[in-house]
């Protein structure tokens, strides 16, 4: 057991917060964990399934005496939460978050915090297509990366947060704010936007029915639908708050797509072949880095009708 | 045991052909299965692992006395193979294929076939990111769809081929040629092209390293890399031969993507939220139709470094 903080408060009780709770319990990483969610329904569910040692009816109550407060709400809601809890934070406490974007979160949260409270940004790069308090599980962060964005926060508070995430199973890596937002646009935000678009196109076509799309999805389309089923509020906020990096990578994406489209139109098979060969190497790297399974079909369990 | 054909010849011994062989053995669907691959190395591997009852050193030898000849070569190579084997086909035999495109295959193959030989197109909608003679397995087609495109072929030959694919574990559905090529552009060809593009963009960026892309791939990017690791020759041929449908769906895709890009640029969160909400329903449909698992993360086995 590695207790890192005496008391941890989770504000927002969705997939990430609930997984953090179960991972904290597994590791003994916190003395007591309080939790708050805006919706009464979520709080009721949390109490029913034993999520958090104590579920509070206000964020203010939840953060009292907490050594670590983790904002687990959509990126667009973090500023308002920070403003609300700021006067009630314990001196010496650390506030952190789990948002997919860092620049706008830091800009929205820091101005509200009292002098004796540090903000250290964190972004656990893990998730599933499910959301809500019942979707969490203790192993979500195992062998996944948690990006730590101190952006000038004190070294001791930063190290303690890294220690905490290690206890939850993650590997930590520090990153500069702007670089974080660019890397995430590439590996996460744009892939999600493209997946949403592809699923939207399929849903839109009058000449191909939804039933056909669903029936024949194993041919490739299916892999896109998992990430396109992610939480809409979270993703709306990501794109609203990481606009610059998103638009930059999207611009690069459409350039490349147009080049391939042109190769198809003029029948340039060599260009397509070379392009398709190059992308295999990246997949190999991901398998070797232990970030995916090489079982055929992801080792999907056999599904039956 | 359900023997459907006395003798089956597989021309080309990659993922699909090798899976067909193991599925035929499991079901007892064929008396004898012969096989041919153009490369000596593939034939050697096939002999070593017991793939096919008899591996032949020419396509001509393999098809002799076969009741069913299945062309399992890339779409662009089918015309030449058909021309080569045509004079040696048994009267009354059925020729079929497993290509992802139907119009161009039918145009390339049918003109070569003798009068007493029927061509019935087939397209098993199943695959993995692996290729080659050692990548096949008996359960690949279980509960997957095999699209049958008779395009005027006799009813008895068509029904027999359907019976055969049922024995291999697949569900069959008949489709018109043009509709087949459009549906596949939506559920398979464009998703693959987009996945290839996304992986190519990530590989291209100088400000984000390959190592970063690989390390943080679990954030969404990873799901694209599986299908972007598919066989380059096969996919080059698909885009070369299904140009019209591909370009049409690609046009629709870029229209939608630009609409979302505009919403990001002008900060229209409602439009993004509505779009992202709609796509969740499609995912639900795929799970309900038994075409994917709803286990978090596809039920991926835990991976370690």
Q: Which of A265, A277, A286 minimises the CB distance to B225?
A: A286
Q: What's the pLDDT score for residue A304?
A: 37
Whether residue A291 sits in one domain with residue A156: no
B221-269 pLDDT, tens digit each: 888 788 888 889 999 999 999 999 999 999 999 999 999 999 999 999 9
Q: Which long-range contacts (CB under 8 A, 24 or more apart) does A38-43 make?
A: A38/A12, A38/A73, A42/A13, A42/A132, A42/A133, A43/A13
Q: What's the pLDDT score for residue A298?
A: 57
Whether residue B196 sits in one domain with residue B80: no
Taking a C-beta distance cutoff of 8 angstroms, is the pair B144, A302 a contact? no
- Please measure the distance between the N-terminal and C-terminal CA atoms of chain B and give it in whole angstroms: 44
Answer whether A227 sits within 8 Å of B223, measured CB to CB: yes
| Encoded tokens for A9 | 């408060």
Residue after which a domain boundary falls, among A155, A175, A195: A175
Answer whether B232 sits within 8 Å of A269, measured CB to CB: no
| Mean pLDDT value across residues A30-38 | 98
Answer whether A280 sits within 8 Å of B229, measured CB to CB: yes
Q: What's the pLDDT score for residue A284?
A: 78
Whether residue A160 sits in one domain with residue A12: yes
Q: How far apart are the C-alpha atoms of B241 and A161, rounded to whole Å? A: 54
CATH code assigned at B210:
1.10.3660.10
Residue after which a domain boundary falls, among A159, A175, A191: A175
- What is the DSSP-derived secondary structure letter of residue B297? G
Answer whether B190 sits within 8 Å of A198, measured CB to CB: yes
**ipTM of predicted assembly, 2 dp:** 0.86
How far away is chain A from the Cα of B270, in angstroms, using its nearest Cα?
A: 8
Does residue B202 have a pLDDT over 90?
no
User: What are the E-state strand segments in chain B?
Assistant: 5-11, 30-36, 54-55, 68-71, 94-97, 118-119, 121-124, 145-149, 171-174
Does residue B304 have a pLDDT over 50?
no
Question: Lowest-confidence range among A278-287, B80-89, B153-162?
Answer: A278-287
Whether residue B171 sits in one domain with residue B186: no
Tally the domains of chain A.
Answer: 2
CATH code assigned at B88:
3.40.50.720
Q: How far apart are the C-alpha atoms of A94 and A6, rounded to whole Å? A: 12
Q: How far apart are the C-alpha atoms of A150 and A177, rounded to whole Å? A: 8
Whether residue B229 sits in one domain with residue B158: no
Answer whether B250 sits within 8 Å of A229, measured CB to CB: no
Question: Lowest-confidence range among A142-156, A219-233, A268-282, B48-62?
Answer: A219-233
Q: How far apart are the C-alpha atoms of A17 and A25, rounded to whole Å? A: 12
Whether residue A185 sits in one domain with residue A170: no
What are the chain A neighbours of B300 within 8 Å (beta carbons)?
A: 292-293, 298-299
Residue A84: inside a domain, yes or no?
Answer: yes
Task: Give the residue from chain A lying closest to B285, CA to CA.
Answer: A214
Whether residue B214 sits in one domain with residue B97: no
Radius of gyration for the alpha carbons in chain B, expressed in angstroms and rounded: 21
Whether residue A293 sits in one domain with residue A167: no
Angle between helices A269-288 and B190-204 (to 10 degrees): 70
- Using CA atoms in the order B130, B135, B141, B143, what is the torsion angle rounded to 10 degrees? -70
**Residue A143 region, left (φ>0) first, then alpha (ψ -120 to 50), else beta?**
left
Q: How far apart are the C-alpha atoms of B224 and A31, rounded to whole Å? A: 40
Q: How far apart are the C-alpha atoms of A218 and B146, rounded to whole Å? A: 11
Residue A304: inside a domain, yes or no?
Answer: no
| Mean pLDDT value across residues A105-111 | 98
What are the chain A neighbours of B237 within 8 Å (beta carbons)?
A: 269
Whether residue A292 sits in one domain with residue A160: no
Residue of A187, A272, A292 to mutate, testing the B interface (most B Cβ within 10 Å of its Cβ): A187
Answer whether A188 sits within 8 Å of B254, measured CB to CB: no
- What is the DSSP-derived secondary structure letter of residue B192? H
Q: Which of B219, B227, B243 minimises the CB distance to A220?
A: B227
Whether residue B159 sits in one domain with residue B46: yes
Residue B304: inside a domain, yes or no?
Answer: no
Structural domain harbouring A212: 179-299
Residue A240: inside a domain, yes or no?
Answer: yes
Residue after which a domain boundary falls, among B116, B142, B175: B175
How far away is chain A from the Cα of B97, in angstroms, using its nearest Cα?
A: 17
**Which of the pair, B83 or A228, is modelled with greater confidence?**
B83
Q: What's the pLDDT score for residue A293?
A: 66
| Encoded tokens for A157 | 């508070």
Whether residue B126 sits in one domain with residue B41: yes
Residue B305: inside a domain, yes or no?
Answer: no
| Encoded tokens for B185 | 């552009």
Residue A305: inside a domain, yes or no?
Answer: no
Whether residue A166 sits in one domain with residue A228: no
Answer whether B243 sits within 8 Å of A292, measured CB to CB: no
Q: How far is CA B183 from the centre of its chain?
A: 13
Q: How far apart are the C-alpha atoms of B18 and B20, rounded to whole Å? A: 5
């Amino acid at each position: 057991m590695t207790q890192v903080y005496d008391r941890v408060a989770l504000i927002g009780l969705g997939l990430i917060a609930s997984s953090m709770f179960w991972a904290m319990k597994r590791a003994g990483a916190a003395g007591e964990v309080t939790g708050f969610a805006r919706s009464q329904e979520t709080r009721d569910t949390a109490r029913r399934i034993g999520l958090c040692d104590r579920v509070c009816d206000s964020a203010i109550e939840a953060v009292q005496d907490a050594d670590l407060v983790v904002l687990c709400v959509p990126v667009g809601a973090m500023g308002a939460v920070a403003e609300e809890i700021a006067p009630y934070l314990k001196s010496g406490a650390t506030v952190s978050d789990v948002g997919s974007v860092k620049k706008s979160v830091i800009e929205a949260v820091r101005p509200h915090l009292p002098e004796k409270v540090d903000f250290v940004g964190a972004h656990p790069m893990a998730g599933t297509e499910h959301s809500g308090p019942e979707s969490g599980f203790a192993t979500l962060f195992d062998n996944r990366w948690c990006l730590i964005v101190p952006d000038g926060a004190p070294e001791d508070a930063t190290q303690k947060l890294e220690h905490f995430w290690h206890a939850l199973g993650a590997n930590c890596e520090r990153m500069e704010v702007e670089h974080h937002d660019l890397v995430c646009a590439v590996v996460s935000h744009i892939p999600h936007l493209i997946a949403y678009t592809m699923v939207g196109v399929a849903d839109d076509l009058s000449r191909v029915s939804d039933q056909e799309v669903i029936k024949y999805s194993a041919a490739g389309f299916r892999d896109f639908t998992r990430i396109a089923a992610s939480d809409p509020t979270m993703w709306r906020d990501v794109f609203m708050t990481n606009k610059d990096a998103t638009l930059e990578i999207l611009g690069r994406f459409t350039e490349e797509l147009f080049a391939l489209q042109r190769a198809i139109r003029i029948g340039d098979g060599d260009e397509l072949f070379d392009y398709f060969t190059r992308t295999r190497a990246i997949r190999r790297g991901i398998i070797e880095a232990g970030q995916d399974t090489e079982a055929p079909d992801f080792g999907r369990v056999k599904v039956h009708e």
